[in-house]
């Protein structure tokens, strides 16, 4: 378990990369360029067996504060859109 958590650090970079990957796949099919929180959660769960949702939300807040993403609550779920790149990660 600890080994999996170590691989996932820093979590905000992993989350940003997942968001980028999902959106680039959607672009190929001319779909809306946003990711739902559920899509992000499913992708993360495929990569790691357990991850605390508070950590995910905290990472999303960091990315939004740093102007890398926009997060909007549409009532049913969160919609996540890319705003800029993470150039100097």
Q: What is the pLDDT of residues 33-74, one digit of tens each?
A: 899 999 999 999 888 878 889 999 999 999 999 999 999 998
For residue 51, is it within any domain? yes
Grade residue 9 by pLDDT with cuts at 50, 70 and 90: low
Residue 88 pLDDT > 70: no
Range of the domain at 61: 2-82
For residue 88, is it within any domain? no
Residue 21 phi/psi, 5° resolution? -65, -45
**Domain of residue 76, CATH code:** 1.10.10.10
Sheet of strand 78-82: strand arrangement: 35-36, 78-82, 69-73
For residue 25, is it within any domain? yes
Domain count, the chain: 1
Residue 10 pLDDT > 90: no
Cα–Cα distance between 78 and 70 in angstroms, integer? 10
């Amino acid at each position: 378990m600890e080994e999996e958590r170590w691989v996932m650090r820093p979590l905000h970079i992993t989350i940003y990369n997942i968001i980028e990957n999902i959106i680039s796949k959607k672009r190929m099919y001319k779909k809306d360029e946003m990711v739902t929180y559920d899509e992000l959660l499913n992708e993360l769960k495929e990569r790691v067996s357990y991850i605390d949702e508070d950590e995910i939300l905290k990472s999303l807040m960091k990315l939004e504060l740093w102007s890398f993403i926009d997060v909007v609550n549409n009532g049913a779920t969160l919609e996540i859109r890319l705003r800029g790149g993470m150039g100097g990660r």
